[in-house]
Amino acid sequence: MPLGTLDRTAPPLFNQGPSALSKLILFSAVALFLMVADARFKVVQPIRTVVGAVLYPVQWVAMQPVLLVRGGARYVEDLQSAQRIEADARKELAMQAQRASQADTLVRENARLRSLLELRQTTQTPSRAAEVLFDAADPYTRKVVIDQGANHGILAGSPVIDERGVLGQVTQVLPFTSEVTLVIDRDLSIPVQNTRTGVRTVAFGDVDARGGGLELRYMTSHADLQTGDVLATSGVDGVYPAGLPVARIDNIERRADTAFARVHGVPFAAVTAARYVLVLAPVGDPVPQAYPGVAGAAAPAADGAGKKKADAAKKGEAAAKDAGAGGGAKEGAKGPAKEPARSAAAGPGAKPPARAAKPAETRPGGQR
Amino acid sequence: MIMRPGQQQLLLPVNPVFIWGSLLVAMVIDMLPLGRTGWMPDVLALVIVFWGVHQPARIGIGAAFVFGLCMDVQQSALLGQHALSYITLSYFAITIHRRLLWYPVLSQAVQLLPLFALSQLIELGIRMAGGGLFPGWTMALAPVLQSVLWPLATALLLAPQRRAPEPDANRPL
């Protein structure tokens, strides 16, 4: 019998390290800590970045067979369908050429009118083209991964559009790739404006609607809405440039048992089939500086609001203390307890409504 | 080494490079961008359980944790979700490894089904608690498919250990 036939290293009899149960408890605790840190405090961004960078070669390898099949399928695509696609593209180009020439005139006209009215000029948003690599495999959310990351200058919070409308928002930036949360994800919301009536609302993602769509919540049943209304970004949020088409209303249910109507929209963007997308630079500063990398879609508004509330509460407390110091001990004793609460409650309401309509806002009844 | 009933031959010692290579290949298979399908069997979980059962001294809970973190980042899931599911799998695999291998392979697959279902339930529970979407009932297929793949995994991953100890003209491998 040759030497390699049997395992010649004796199994360790005494030095077996910590038991499986203690290891399970230790690693479970670490996993739970990571989950809470990821969902609540957004402090694990560096871990994600590092693991993402290390995994990139493996991901690249995993992508090759799929790209090969995709490329092969396109290669054997027959001549007829290629010609048909080309004819369609030419038709679309012709139609767009007419609109483009009109647009040039309109832009000039608009600029003149705006200068006459002394309004601020609208600026062009810088953008960056990207390719959708794959749908994120996580079945609990609706995200896609694009091939541009922090190394290409992508910022968390940037709006992403395709050739038809708004596709979503960048919610996670890794060194070489980024994750885009689609508009149909339940945690994403977009401030929109009904282009027919000019009414501003917020559209929420709604995956359960046939194949994924958007939902307008808290619309009264007598609100002026019609099937076919186009919802475009309103531009009051400081993230999305105004006027990008988002969705078309396709179903309005008015019910007798509730004061609100259920309003569903279909996104213009090809949320399930987008290949090439455009990442726009955010109009304002979408992410508070204290949270440079936003992990979940929910961060900006919730954190921003929370911080402002805290600030307001602090101010209130300081004011109350001043009053207490000036006015007497009795005032001072009850002041700090009541004042902060009142000013905290008044804080968000005193701000212009635009601040409340930030994108990527959490569900009101949600966990966050 | 104990010869169990039904075991045809004495196995060769395992090659650590093969263990880690198989784990890496399983991870690549899991990372194939095939879209968002709830029923896709988790091949990496299967391989982690396989080595947890066959080589508990080499592939333990720590390795399962690291691979779980990698899957979390790749799938853009909650960080720690797959890690928790994989360490649970690895722990139970180590717990049952002395008993499980006395059964024939098909019976092993049946006994592993609750284990795979448990890990799937852990992931579902975590995400539902975190406010995720319900991915649909097709996800109940994933543990079944993983169990179905167990005999195949046994055949493939034990193949290098079943080679002839003395290669000759009749058995070159």
State the complex-level ipTM: 0.84
More confident of the two residues B78 and B19:
B19
Q: Is residue B172 part of a domain?
A: no
Each of the 368 residues of chain A gets a pLDDT tens digit; together they read 566 666 667 777 777 778 889 999 999 999 999 988 888 887 888 888 888 888 888 888 888 888 888 888 877 877 888 888 899 999 989 888 888 888 888 888 888 888 887 766 666 678 888 988 888 888 888 889 998 888 888 888 899 998 888 999 998 888 888 999 999 888 888 999 998 898 899 999 887 756 678 888 888 888 888 888 899 998 888 888 888 889 999 888 888 888 888 888 999 888 888 888 989 888 775 455 444 444 444 434 444 444 444 444 444 444 444 444 444 344 434 434 444 444 444 333 333 443 434 444 444 433 33
pLDDT of residue A59: 86
**What's the start-to-end Cα distance of chain B, in Å?**
23
pLDDT of residue A287: 52
Mean pLDDT of B17-32: 92
pLDDT of residue A308: 43
Contact A203, A188 (CB under 8 A): no
Q: Is residue B166 part of a domain?
A: no
Closest CA to A143 of A174, A113, A122, A102: A174
Cα A36–chain centre separation: 20
- What's the DSSP call for residue B78? -
More confident of the two residues B4 and B53:
B53
Highest mean pLDDT among A14-18, B22-26, B31-35: B22-26
What confidence tens digit (pLDDT) does each residue in B143-161 have?
A: 999 999 999 999 999 888 8
Contact A252, A263 (CB under 8 A): yes
Contacts of A314 (CB under 8 A, 6+ apart): A340
More confident of the two residues A11 and B46:
B46
| pLDDT for B87 beyond 90 | yes
pLDDT of residue A122: 62
Contact A280, A127 (CB under 8 A): yes
Give the mutation candidate from B18, B73, B92 for the A interface (greatest A CB count, under 10 A).
Answer: B73
What the block records as the tokens of A342 is: 């009142």
Q: Count of residues for chain A?
A: 368
Alpha-carbon distances, residue A139 vs B30, B75, B136 (angstroms)? 14, 9, 9
Contacts of A122 (CB under 8 A, 6+ apart): A110, A114, A242
Confidence of residue B63 (pLDDT cuts 50, 70, 90): very high
- What's the DSSP call for residue B159? G
pLDDT of residue A339: 41
pLDDT of residue A40: 80
Give the mutation candidate from B133, B161, B166, B168 for the A interface (greatest A CB count, under 10 A).
Answer: B133
Q: Is residue B5 part of a domain?
A: no
Q: Is residue B9 part of a domain?
A: no
What is the SS3 assignment for A116-169?
Answer: HHCCCCCCCCCEEEEEEEEECCCCCCCEEEECCCHHHCCCCCCEEECCCCEEEE
What is the SS3 assignment for chain A?
Answer: CCHHHCCCCCCCCCCCCCCHHHHHHHHHHHHHHHHHHHHHHCCCHHHHHHHHHHHHHHHHHHHHHHHHHHHHHHHCCCHHHHHHHHHHHHHHHHHHHHHHHHHHHHHHHHHHHHHHHCCCCCCCCCEEEEEEEEECCCCCCCEEEECCCHHHCCCCCCEEECCCCEEEEEEEECCCCEEEEECCCCCCEEEEEECCCCCEEEEEEECCCCCCEEEEEEEECCCCCCCCCEEEECCCCCCCCCCCEEEEEEEEEECCCCCEEEEEEEECCCCCCCCEEEEECCCCCCCCCCCCCCCCCCHHHHHHHHHHHHHHHHHHHHHHHHHHHHHCHHHHHHHHHHHHHHHHHHHHHHCCHHHHCCCCCCCCCCCC
Give residue A122's identity as a one-letter amino acid code.
T
SS3 B120: helix
Contact B125, B162 (CB under 8 A): no
Contacts of A44 in chain B (CB under 8 A): 79
pLDDT of residue B93: 93
Question: Is A8 in CB contact (< 8 Å) with chain B?
Answer: yes
Question: β-strand A166-173 against A260-267: which pairing, if any?
Answer: unpaired
Q: What is the mean pLDDT of chain B?
A: 87
Residue-range definition of the domain harbouring residue B91: 16-161
Confidence of residue B18 (pLDDT cuts 50, 70, 90): very high
Q: Is residue B10 part of a domain?
A: no
* Rounded Cα distance, B41 and B63, in Å: 20
Helix axis angle for B43-54 and B81-100, nearest 10°, is 40
* Rounded Cα distance, A6 and B10, in Å: 8
- Nearest by CB: A28 against B36, B77, B87: B87
SS3 B149: coil
* Rounded Cα distance, B110 and B119, in Å: 15
Instruction: Map out the domains of chain A with their CATH numbers.
Output: 125-300+357-361 (2.40.10.340)
Q: Nearest chain A Cα to B124, which residue?
A: A140
Structural domain count, chain B: 1
Q: Do A31 and B76 touch (CB under 8 A)?
A: no
Q: Is residue B59 part of a domain?
A: yes
What the block records as the tokens of A15 is: 């030095």
Q: Is residue B132 part of a domain?
A: yes
Q: Nearest chain A Cα to B27, which residue?
A: A58
pLDDT of residue B114: 94
pLDDT of residue A210: 63
Question: Is A40 in CB contact (< 8 Å) with chain B?
Answer: no
Nearest-CA distance A264 → chain B (Å): 18
Task: Give the HSE-up count for residue B136: Cα atoms under 13 Å, Cβ half-sphere.
Answer: 14
Nearest-CA distance B112 → chain A (Å): 19
What confidence tens digit (pLDDT) does each residue in B69-78 have?
A: 999 888 888 8
What the block records as the tokens of A220 is: 């009264």
Per-residue burial over A163-200, b = 16 or more CB atoms within 10 Å of its CB, e = otherwise: eebbbbbbbbbbebbbbbbbbbbbbbbbbbbbeeeebe
What confidence tens digit (pLDDT) does each residue in A331-352 have?
A: 434 434 444 444 444 333 333 4
What the block records as the tokens of A237 is: 């949020």
Nearest-CA distance A177 → chain B (Å): 11
| pLDDT for B125 beyond 50 | yes
Give residue A176's identity as a one-letter amino acid code.
F
Mean pLDDT of B50-71: 91
* Rounded Cα distance, B94 and B115, in Å: 12
Q: Is residue B51 part of a domain?
A: yes
Q: What are phi and psi of A249, to 5 degrees?
A: -70, 125
